[in-house]
A and B are shown apart, each in its own frame.
Chain A
């Protein structure tokens, strides 16, 4: 099943038999290369977007020396980081310290195995796709905690502990928000979820989208939940003792995770690769970048929350709302007639607004001072 030179790659994907008997390894090879290239290129793009975008929002220019519009700045940074000395603290747990960046990086890469770039164009169309994503994405935390522990530094340990606490808490509303989508789509496969989105699920599940976006930002430690890095408090958090290529890997993880979350949001809520006129992969790319832009925007705007407020937000605000959202969605899926699908949009948006306003009045974040 080696594709003949005249055939385009795209054509090859479409002619693949559904169970790929002989083409399995070719398929595997092609998509592994595509995914790694996609992640590396887009991470560079993300770094550029973040730095330039933040520059514009902060009334300055951002990097503009390396290449046109500073486009080569990520390349220059990569070269600089690669040529740096690799330092390991004297009392560090050397094996753990060495292993941590790898353990953190691999899962971020593996998430993309089930993300469809266009119809059927994905490494493995698992029928439990979204479950796989949820399971794999939490493995990164192990790597981050290894980094925090192995560095033998109090700042990095504090950062890693905060990260573990945050990820464990935010996993629950994250998954509950996903279940709403799964209920409507009737499948766990990401490709099927995209195919089910004749109306993007952001309209049918506005509350679910909001919860997923917040919990997703907290999972990957984007501002305002960037407590594990917290440059004004913990200086750099868990990767304070890393330099050279190991630091670069953590930097890569950070943006690969942001990329993964924006890809999942695109797939679950924004209709994935679907869209008029433009080719599907371009739609996918545009939506992913749009989601990331919103993340950059929140990062430049909001102050950071405190650790107890972070936990309170997960347990007192996101979790109840996610449960309510799940119940409402289940009732709607059971009772609502297909013909009235468009009526569901304003109803659901109204429900979201009412619930969010009500809950923000009801719940108080954090518990303030402790008597000592």
Chain B
């Protein structure tokens, strides 16, 4: 005797603890299994691209902070690189090194939250999350030293920085770089080989290599699928070609690979910071730039390897003090496009961790 059953619709979000912001998944369920899923976003749309057209080139920097608010430093970097490319502004050597140091610190901070939130989605009740916040706190302290802010730094300027780093920054950074590998080992000991985590994450939410490339995925999501693609290597910006580091990649493209790639990237970032600290020259941190910048009419696109993937700014100038058009290529949005394919056939619990393993920030998806 077969019971008569019918699928039902479950709204996961927009107010839900595991949607990392105001994201909504309109899931059709057959029991616990997801048979259809429709992502709904736009709840956090603030029109940043349009707002950028009404601000001076420098005035856009605070807006970029509010894109991926867990990685403001990287957003600043991508934007100032685009403007510098557009207007042909040189950057002092010391500023280049500091940019690399800060961007890599930001990558570690962002990955700490990504990994912690992923494990939290798996149901590890806040322990890994709070352990990782403990270390993120140290990075945030470092950022507070240089910029005075703890979340939205607004520290980079076109042609350099607002001010030089304080004297106590480098010793504190040195201490952090020496401590951090031990902490990463601690996370690995805590959960990396945990039987339940392996059962939950291995083979779950597979993103095949071809699909990952076709949907324009980037960052750890793409590398987790086994594609060796990192903007820092394939199109080096700033001074990344001067450092030695590896690009960790996964093989299966499942949640566990994405998680492992992030943990490995933290170690590589520490390597880069260590080298940059050794080579850090003295000198000015900002080149002479007029207060209002009038870039020549034209267009420029600059992209960086942000913690979540390829973050690009496309700027069009009409020789006025504000960009004529500013388009943001947000990695979170691109990575999210394969969500349905990854989720179909899995259960609600898997859907939550698949979503967590993509690591999005709604501020960047909706802009």
Residues of chain A touching chain B, judged by Cβ–Cβ distance below 8 Å, are 54, 57-60, 154-155, 158, 223-224, 226-227, 230-235, 299-309, 360, 365-366, 368-372
Q: Which 4 A-B pairs have the closest CB atoms?
A: A304-B123, A303-B122, A303-B124, A58-B130
- A232 and B345 in contact (CB under 8 A), knowing A303-B191, A303-B200? no
Binary CB contact string for chain B from 53 to 85 against chain A (1 if under 8 A, 0 otherwise): 000000000000000000000000000000000
Residue of B nearest to A368 (CB): B203
Q: Which residues of A contact B196 (CB under 8 A)?
A: 224, 302-305
Given contacts A57-B127, A58-B126, A365-B199, 16 further A-B contacts (CB under 8 A): A59-B131, A155-B10, A223-B125, A224-B123, A231-B17, A232-B121, A232-B122, A233-B352, A300-B127, A302-B123, A304-B349, A305-B200, A307-B349, A308-B347, A369-B346, A372-B345
Binary CB contact string for chain B from 83 to 94 against chain A (1 if under 8 A, 0 otherwise): 000000000000
B204 and A368 within 8 A (CB) = yes
Q: Which residues of A contact B123 (CB under 8 A)?
A: 223-224, 226, 230, 232-233, 302-305
In angstroms, Cα B348 to Cα A370, docked, is 12
When the two chains form the complex, which single residue of A59, A60, A233, A372 contacts B348, counting CB atoms closer than 8 Å? A233
In angstroms, Cα B190 to Cα A196, docked, is 40
Residue of A nearest to B34 (CB): A372
The interface residues of chain A, by DSSP majority, are classed as loop
A370 and B122 within 8 A (CB) = no
Determine if B246 is an interface residue (Cβ-Cβ < 8 Å). Answer: no
B127 and A301 within 8 A (CB) = yes
When the two chains form the complex, which single residue of B10, B119, B121, B199 contacts A366, counting CB atoms closer than 8 Å? B199
Q: Which residues of A contact B349 (CB under 8 A)?
A: 227, 230, 233, 304, 306-307
In angstroms, Cα B30 to Cα A126, docked, is 46
Binary CB contact string for chain B from 101 to 126 against chain A (1 if under 8 A, 0 otherwise): 00000000000000000011111111
Q: Which residues of A contact B203 (CB under 8 A)?
A: 368
The distance from the CB of B274 to the nearest CB of chain A, in whole angstroms, is 26
Residue of B nearest to A226 (CB): B123
In angstroms, Cα B119 to Cα A58, docked, is 14
A58 and B131 within 8 A (CB) = yes
In angstroms, Cα B361 to Cα A83, docked, is 37
When the two chains form the complex, which single residue of B120, B130, B199 contacts A309, counting CB atoms closer than 8 Å? B199
In angstroms, Cα B129 to Cα A54, docked, is 13
- A232 and B127 in contact (CB under 8 A), knowing A158-B348, A304-B349? no
The distance from the CB of B356 to the nearest CB of chain A, in whole angstroms, is 8
Residue of B nearest to A309 (CB): B199
18 A-B pairs (CB sep. < 8 Å): A154-B8, A154-B10, A158-B32, A223-B125, A230-B123, A232-B17, A232-B18, A300-B127, A301-B127, A302-B124, A303-B196, A304-B122, A306-B200, A307-B347, A360-B195, A371-B345, A372-B30, A372-B36
Q: Which residues of B contact A365 (CB under 8 A)?
A: 199
In angstroms, Cα B125 to Cα A298, docked, is 10
- A232 and B199 in contact (CB under 8 A), knowing A158-B348, A307-B347? no
The distance from the CB of B19 to the nearest CB of chain A, in whole angstroms, is 10
B347 and A303 within 8 A (CB) = no
Q: Which residues of B contact A231 (CB under 8 A)?
A: 17
Q: Which residues of A contact B200 (CB under 8 A)?
A: 303-306, 309
Q: Which residues of B contact A366 (CB under 8 A)?
A: 199
Q: Which residues of A contact B338 (CB under 8 A)?
A: none
Residue of B nearest to A369 (CB): B345
Give the residue among B10, B125, B350 with the most A Cβ atoms within 10 A: B125
The distance from the CB of A244 to the nearest CB of chain B, in whole angstroms, is 21
Q: Which residues of B contact A60 (CB under 8 A)?
A: 130
In angstroms, Cα B353 to Cα A304, docked, is 11
Binary CB contact string for chain B from 182 to 214 against chain A (1 if under 8 A, 0 otherwise): 000000001100111101100110000000000
In angstroms, Cα B203 to Cα A365, docked, is 13
Q: Which residues of B contact A302 (CB under 8 A)?
A: 123-124, 194, 196
Determine if B33 is an interface residue (Cβ-Cβ < 8 Å). Answer: yes
The distance from the CB of B306 to the nearest CB of chain A, in whole angstroms, is 26
The distance from the CB of A293 to the nearest CB of chain B, in whole angstroms, is 15
Residue of A nearest to B131 (CB): A59
Q: Which residues of A contact B344 (CB under 8 A)?
A: 372
Q: Which residues of B contact A299 (CB under 8 A)?
A: 125
The distance from the CB of A52 to the nearest CB of chain B, in whole angstroms, is 15
In angstroms, Cα B195 to Cα A302, docked, is 9
A235 and B194 within 8 A (CB) = no
Q: Which residues of B contact A368 (CB under 8 A)?
A: 203-204
Determine if B177 is an interface residue (Cβ-Cβ < 8 Å). Answer: no
